[in-house]
Structures are given as C-alpha cells and as structure tokens.
C-alpha cells in the first residue's frame, strides 16, 4: 500500500511539473509577442519620423538645385546629416530609387522594347518578346470596379499619358499606343501590376520563368532596368548600364565616355558628376544627338529634338523611398512613392500648419509642400512593407 501511494504521489508531481512547464512556455511566448508588438509600434514611429526628415531633405535639395538630378546631390545622406534622434540599438536605413531612370513597361515605345528584349536573345527573340508583350497589353480593358486596388499604376499612367497626348504629331507616330482610346471614367487600360504577370505570356514563360539559374538571372536583370511606374522620358543620370545600351541603339551615344563621366570610381573619390541637360551630352563629346541651334524656320519642325526629349531626360519624376527601422530581431519597413512636379506655383502660406506624418488618428498620410520657383514633391502612395512587383 505504501508503495502504491508513493507511485501515485510521484505521478501527480510529474503531471504538475509538466503543466507548469507548458504554462511557462506559453507565458514566455505571450511575453515575446507582446514585446514585439510594443517594439513594432515604436519602430513605426521612428520610421514615420525618418520619412518626414527624408521628405523635407529632398524638398530642400529641390529648392536649392531647382531639380532632382541624381543621388550625388546627397539623397541618401539626408538622415546622416540631419538631427533626428534615434534610440541606442535602433538602426534607421533609407533607400531611394529613381523609378524614372528605367525603361517603362506600362507605357512602352516599340523601338525601346525591341532594344530591351535584345539584351536577352537575338533579333528574332526580341521581335517575338516585344510583339507578344504588346499584344498582351492590347487585351480587353478591365472595368474600373474590378480595379479598386490598382491605385498607383493607373493614376500615374493616366496623368502622364494625358501629358504625352499634348505633344506634337511626330511624337504620336513615333510610338504605338497599346491601350487604345477608351472613354475616360468607364474603363482603365490593362497594365502590368507585377512581373509575375509576365508568366501569362508563353514567350516570357520560356525565357524568364522556367526553372534554372539563367531564368532567375534574366528576370532579375529585367527588373533592374525596367519599371512599372511612370513613363518616358528616362532620367539618364540614374539609368543603369543596360538602359544606356538600349538608348545608344536609338541615338549616337559613346557609352565609354558616359561610363567614364559617371563611373563608380569617380563617385567613390567624390568626383562623380551628372548631366544637367541633354544638350550637355553633345557639348562634352559623349554623343552626337544633333541638338545644335537652328534657324527660326527649322525650329518649327525640330523633329530630332522632339524625339530625343521624348526618350531622354535629366531629372527624377518618380521616387520610391524605403525606410527600414531595425531593433534586435524586430524590423519595420515603410515604402513611399513620390511624384516630382516642376510646375512653378505660389508659395504656401507660412501661417498654415503643414500636415505631419506622425499625427495620431490619421489613416491616410498625405502631404504636399509647395516651393517657390522650384517644384512640388507629392506623396502618391504610402504602404507598410516593401513594394512588391
């Protein structure tokens, strides 16, 4: 009897020990989750403060230089030279990309597409890829009610497409309009919202999405030199080498001279430069774009200048800013897309209080600051996490 009682007591002790261990384990997990939630809220606060600082810094650069040409103006140094306070152990990282420095896929030019796809095969391959992609874009438009989540690409494309229509007839004939003329307000043109959509096209499926390192590298290279935001012209100051190669097949450009002028070695030594006008490419002997001055009669039909200015520019029009805040194993990412408008407007009344990105109770963060004789930096989209395309 005494032995049975002893075994029963030991069993109860083991059961109680097991229950205590399970309780402590669950309690520890709850404490970790609670700490992460509290930490995430603090990181979110620092991320919005960092975005506000970057926003103000870019507007100051825009006001001083009257344009946003290149990161060499100090885009990525705004946080380091600012007086923003970050607690010890918290890292604040900023990454700024100029989406207007890449080849647009949602408002494409046929010649530029051919040169782009020629990077991934021979001439026949580029013909097949370009033709199949343009046919895919021409498919039946989707009703607006089915595209409520497509806020950014549709909005930017519509705005810049309207601007392009105001240019001369020469510009219209130089590029195909894959979207057609649908009544405004009833339909939106179909567009590429993510690179995975290209897998719907058979020729792209074989070239970019079959299993293998070649397809992975090809898709990565395609993403690096193209954009789903905005349209032409391309900011040559931030354009990757592949984009310069595509432009050189349309215009007479000395790639070696351009690479030496904008080389990474020069930038590392603090001597990196950027073009302040397209005509500067001719003046420095880096190309022959034939942009010399002409008589008043010839200016009426300055076709070459119109074509060059349609394809090439020197300033950023769409910026994607990514703010990442890290603390231990917890991180928070905030991505914002800005539209740079250089239309001179009246300066905002100094007595009017500007909207703050960290104001509590605001679901949608939106702010626009006007700069006299400079431009406007307008927030188009703001989302948590990285911009996946």
Task: Dig out the tokens for 379 from the structure.
Answer: 């927030």
> Is residue 94 domain-resident?
yes
| Other beta carbons less than 10 A from residue 266's beta carbon | 15
Three-state SS for 130? helix
For residue 330, the 8-state DSSP code is E
What confidence category does residue 140 fall into, taking pLDDT thresholds of 50, 70 and 90? Answer: low
- Residues 300 and 350 reside in one and the same domain: no
Q: Which of 347, 349, 324, 334 is CA-nearest to residue 379?
A: 334
> Is residue 111 domain-resident?
yes
- Residues 13 and 60 reside in one and the same domain: yes
The number of domains in the chain is: 3
End position of a domain, from candidates 312, 339, 366:
312
Residue 360: domain span: 2-100+318-384
Tokens 């021409």 belong to 138
8 Å CB contact between 224 and 241: no
- Residues 327 and 258 reside in one and the same domain: no
- Residues 308 and 350 reside in one and the same domain: no
Tokens 């805040």 belong to 325
- Residues 113 and 219 reside in one and the same domain: yes
> Is residue 133 domain-resident?
yes
> Is residue 244 domain-resident?
yes
- Residues 220 and 117 reside in one and the same domain: yes
> Is residue 233 domain-resident?
no
Q: Which of 321, 385, 101 is CA-nearest to residue 225?
A: 101
Model pTM score: 0.70
- CB-side exposure of 239: number of CA atoms within 13 Å? 26
What confidence category does residue 236 fall into, taking pLDDT thresholds of 50, 70 and 90? Answer: very high
| pLDDT tens by residue, 305-326 | 788 999 999 999 999 999 999 8
Task: Dig out the tokens for 23 from the structure.
Answer: 């309780």
8 Å CB contact between 230 and 339: no
- Residues 359 and 308 reside in one and the same domain: no
> Is residue 362 domain-resident?
yes
- Residues 165 and 269 reside in one and the same domain: no
The more confident residue out of 164 and 239 is: 239
Q: What is the pLDDT of residue 115?
A: 95
Instruction: Determine the Cα angle at 367 with ends 366 and 372, to 5°.
Output: 155
Residue 358: partners with Cβ closer than 8 Å, 6 or more residues away: 45, 48, 49, 52
> Is residue 123 domain-resident?
yes
Q: Does 181 score more than 60 pLDDT?
A: no
- Residues 187 and 288 reside in one and the same domain: no
Tokens 């076709």 belong to 303
End position of a domain, from candidates 168, 195, 227:
227
Q: What is the pLDDT of residue 93?
A: 93
Read off the pLDDT of each residue in 131-155 and give the average, rounded to a whole number. 59
Cα–Cα dist 104/97, whole Å: 14
| pLDDT tens by residue, 182-229 | 444 334 456 888 999 999 999 999 889 987 777 889 999 999 999 998
End position of a domain, from candidates 260, 289, 312:
312
- Residues 16 and 37 reside in one and the same domain: yes
User: Rounded mean pLDDT of the chain?
Assistant: 77
């Amino acid at each position: 009897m005494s032995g049975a009682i002893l075994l029963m007591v030991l069993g109860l002790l083991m059961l109680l020990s097991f229950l205590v261990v399970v309780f402590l384990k669950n309690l520890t997990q709850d404490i970790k989750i609670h700490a992460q939630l509290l930490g995430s809220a603090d990181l979110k606060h620092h991320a919005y403060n960092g975005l506000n600082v970057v926003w103000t810094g870019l507007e100051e650069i825009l006001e001083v230089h009257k344009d946003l040409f290149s990161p060499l103006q100090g885009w990525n140094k705004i946080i380091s030279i600012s007086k923003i306070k970050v607690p010890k152990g918290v890292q604040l990282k900023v990454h700024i990309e100029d989406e207007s420095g890449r080849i647009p896929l949602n408002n494409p030019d046929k010649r530029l597409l051919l040169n782009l796809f020629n990077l991934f095969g021979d001439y026949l391959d580029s013909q097949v890829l370009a033709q199949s992609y343009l046919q895919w874009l021409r498919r039946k438009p989707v009703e607006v009610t089915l595209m409520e989540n497509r806020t950014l690409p549709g909005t930017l494309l519509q705005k810049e497409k309207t601007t392009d229509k105001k240019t001369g007839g020469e510009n219209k004939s130089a590029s195909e309009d894959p979207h057609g003329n649908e009544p405004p307000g009833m339909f939106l043109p179909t567009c590429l919202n993510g690179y995975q959509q290209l897998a719907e096209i058979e020729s792209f499926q074989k070239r970019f999405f079959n299993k293998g390192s070649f397809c992975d590298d090809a898709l990565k290279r395609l993403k690096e030199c193209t954009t789903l935001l905005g349209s032409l012209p391309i900011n040559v100051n931030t354009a990757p080498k592949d984009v310069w190669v595509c432009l050189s097949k349309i215009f007479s450009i000395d790639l070696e001279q351009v690479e030496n002028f904008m080389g990474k070695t020069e930038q590392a030594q603090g001597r990196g430069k950027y073009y302040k006008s397209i005509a500067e490419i001719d003046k420095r002997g880096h190309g022959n774009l034939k942009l010399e001055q002409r008589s008043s009669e010839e200016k009426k039909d300055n076709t070459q200048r119109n074509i060059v200015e349609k394809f090439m520019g020197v300033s950023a029009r769409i910026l994607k800013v990514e703010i990442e805040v890290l603390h231990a194993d917890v991180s928070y990412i905030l991505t914002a897309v800005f539209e740079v408008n250089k239309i001179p407007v009246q300066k905002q009344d100094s007595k009017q209080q500007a909207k703050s990105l960290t104001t509590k109770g605001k679901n949608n963060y939106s702010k626009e600051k006007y700069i006299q004789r400079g431009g406007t930096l307008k927030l188009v989209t703001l989302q948590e996490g990285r911009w996946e395309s």
